[in-house]
Structure 1
Amino acid sequence: MKIRTIISLISAVFITNFSFAQLSDLVKIDYTILPRGNSEIEYSRIRGLFNYPIQLKKEGSYLLLGLDYSNIKLVMDAHPSFNKEALSDFQLLDLNIGYTAALKNDWRLGVRLTPGFSSNLTADDLSLEDVIISGDVVFIKDKTKDKTIKKPWRLILGASYSGNRGYPFPLPFISYYRKFHSKWSYNIGIPKTNLQYHASSQHRFKLYAELDGFTANLQQGVTINNTLEAESINMSLVLGGLQYEYHISKHIQFYARGSYLLNNSVNLRAKNKDDILKLDSSNALYLRTGIRFKI
């Protein structure tokens, strides 16, 4: 079967918009920045990912393997409570392992396991504290290609957990998509909701709300006020904004988005994951641009 067919099936299953990889993308590179504004912190992130699909012997079953790498930098003012140098640079690497198989009554199963590490890498070697595990289990019914339906739709139900998205606890995965007009479609669910205007075959605009963030280990710890020891950092975002997409070709897409941060929380955490110091994170603007290759 052609790679195009494989990806179309897999992308239907793994439609997710956390900070971590969209498995429908074969290659993606993007840059994100939260300008400092009136806050103490400026956040920037460079991210690149690669995915490769493999057809399995069982009919309708596929495996997807990929890598997702990010470099995150925090630029902040001098802080009287701790040494900021240990919080300036973070490396994140995930291995994506996805599996999908057809079920009865037009349903499809999707499973993803994502081991990796997220750390400031101030020590010589990685440790178990640097390791993160993420995973998703979803069930999908897709009627977007059914020619007998006037208003195509897709339903995805499942659960998702990530140790590295700023919300390190299980979340429901709910997504209901419908194209209700030749130029309009919407997607309602968790972790993202959007309304999309298809201006033409090349230009699209999308209003959206979603979750974002990251969690990383602090290898040698950060001493706060000479008493408390921070072992990790967690950044969680709730944002809403507008995204513009320019389809350079059928498979190559440029995108740019501007968002307003509805909620922004940056905390240093103890070994037991309790927050011990909240950093000033009153940033209001979130900007991202990138290019992706998808089939």
Structure 2
Amino acid sequence: MEMKMQKLVIIFMLSTLGIGFAQETGSVYINSEILPNTDVGTIKKNEVGFDIPIKTITGKETISLFGEYQNLNIGYVDKDVPFETYQIDNFQTFSLGLLYDRILENGWGFSLKLAPQISSNFDIQEIDGRDVFINGTLLFDKLNQEKQSMWTFGVEYDAQNGLNFPIPIVAYTKRLNEKWAYKIGFPDARLKWTLHENHNFEAFTTLDGFAGNINDDLEVYKTDYVGTLKNTYLVGGLGYNITFLKDFELNAKAGYSAFNTMEVQDYDTDEIYDFDMQNGFYYNFGLKYNLNKKAKVKSPY
């Protein structure tokens, strides 16, 4: 089992390095997230990934490759859980996908993202078909350069927000001046104050979560089940971002969840066990290296 996991990690790292050094734009990042919960346990999520354009067609179309490895660990403290939590205290997720962007007429554009991933507790040797999740996003946007604003509409299905259905995306983004900009919408809203060219503060709300396959039987109340572990949370808070050494970005966020739920579900999405998660604090720390900061950003934010 350990040998298979090592091979997957090595393949991921080699693909990142090979593409990263071959391209002129893009980014590589690491991120760490903590959601302490005194009643159930502490969720720790660590991520490393890349996002790199690999082809530009006639200046109006771009194809980008992105990938991510995520390790999620849950330190359970609830002694009344009716099963052995060691089976579902660690999940690993491997993602690799493509993003297609196209600029249309009159400020319109659209993006299509396909992101297959493997997410599992890897409790058995083989990779099961249910370890594989297929995610996708379709977005349309309308940019008004004169007013420095943009509308965004679309739909997203992402197993990693812990939901069993596609969610709508709608947002209005506006730059007020050199210091202030905001984004109102769902599932993400932000207000940014730029203190200096390399420093800014940000208030935010965002939807996030986790989903991973439990690829072996889980005994709950002396009955064996198969299914998935799913976590969904909506958080709001404040963040600080700093750019240093030209191409490095460091960010730190702290907030509180307004909604937090975690369940073991069967493959029909029926509840097997609800952990009764309570709302609590949220912390996030990240570091990103931009391979080329001159890459054009379409958003006025």
TM-score by length of 2: 0.84
- CA distance in structure 1 between the partners assigned to 2:150 and 2:245 by the alignment: 25
Partner of 2:273: 277
Segments of structure 1 that go 5 or more residues without pairing to the other structure are 1-23
1:237-293 Cα deviation digits (max 9, x unpaired): 011000111111443210000010111101111221111211142251110101112
Query: Aligned pair 1:159/2:160, yes or no?
Result: no
Query: Aligned residue for 1:137?
Result: 138
For 2:188 and 2:59, the matched residues in 1 are separated by 31
Asked if structure 1 preserves the Cα contact closer than 8 Å seen for 2:216 and 2:226, the reply is: no
- Whether contact under 8 Å (2:121, 2:214) holds in the other structure is yes
Whether the aligned pair in 2 keeps the contact of 1:187 and 1:195 (CA below 8 Å) is yes
Partner of 1:241: 237
Name the residue aligned to 1:18.
none
Partners of 2:218 and 2:142 in 1: CA distance: 47
Q: Structure 1 counterpart of 2:72, which letter?
A: I
- For 1:97, the equivalent position in structure 2 comes to 98
| Distance (whole Å) between structure 2 residues aligned to residue 187 and residue 231 of structure 1 | 37
Cα distance in 1 for residues equivalent to 2:154 and 2:97: 18
1:64 maps to what in 2?
64
User: 2 CA distance for matches of 1:104 and 1:173?
Assistant: 22
Q: Determine if the alignment matches structure 1 residue 111 to structure 2 residue 107.
A: no
Aligned mates of 1:211, 1:104 — CA distance in 2: 32
Give the alignment of 1:176-195 within 5 angstroms.
Answer: 176-195=172-191
CA distance in 1, matches of 2:164, 2:26: 24
Name the counterpart of 1:226.
Answer: 222
Aligned 8 A contact 2:239 2:252 in 1: yes
Stretches of 4+ aligned residues off by more than 6 angstroms? none
What count of residue pairs does the alignment treat as equivalent? 266
| Residue aligned with 2:70, SS | strand
- Aligned AA (1:35): P
Show the counterpart of 1:28: 29
Identity %: 25
Give the equivalent residue in structure 2 for 1:3.
none
SS at the partner of 1:49?
A: strand
* Partner Cα separation in structure 1 for residue 244 and residue 130 of structure 2: 42
Q: Can you list the C-alpha shifts for 1:163-184, whole angstroms capped at 9, x where unaligned? A: 2221231111112110113211
| TM-score, reference length from structure 1 | 0.85
* Residue-by-residue CA offset, 1:113-152 (whole Å, 9 max, x unaligned): 0001110001101111100011011112234xx4xx2x41
Report deviation, 1:230.
4.5
Cα offset, 1:72, TM superposition: 0.2
Go from structure 1 to structure 2 and tell me whether the alpha carbon gap of 1:70 and 1:80 turns closer, same or farther (over 3 Å shift): closer
Take 1:171 and 1:226, find their aligned partners in 2: how far apart are those partners?
Answer: 36
Separation in 2, partners of 1:283, 1:58:
49
Please identify, of 265-274 and 76-85, the stretch whose mean Cα deviation from structure 2 is larger: 76-85
Alpha-carbon offset, residue 58 of structure 1: 4.2
Distance change >3 Å, CA 242–CA 57, structure 1 → 2: closer
Q: What letter corresponds to residue 91 of structure 2 in structure 1?
A: F
Equivalent residue runs for 1:44-83 within 5 Å: 44-77=44-77, 78-83=79-84
Q: Quick one: which amino acid aligns to residue 122 of structure 1?
A: D
Paired with 2:194 and 2:240, the residues of 1 have a C-alpha distance of 10
The Cα of 1:25 is off from its aligned counterpart by: 6.0
Equivalences for 1:187-226 in 2 at 5 Å? 187-226=183-222
Residue ranges of structure 2 left out of the alignment (5+ in a row):
1-24, 294-301
Structure 1's 249 and 168: CA in aligned 2 closer, same or farther, altered over 3 A?
Answer: farther
CA contact (8 A) 2:26 2:52 kept: no
| Aligned amino acid, residue 284 of structure 2 | R
Residue 40 of structure 2 is matched in structure 1 by 40
Name the aligned partner's letter for residue 83 of structure 2: F
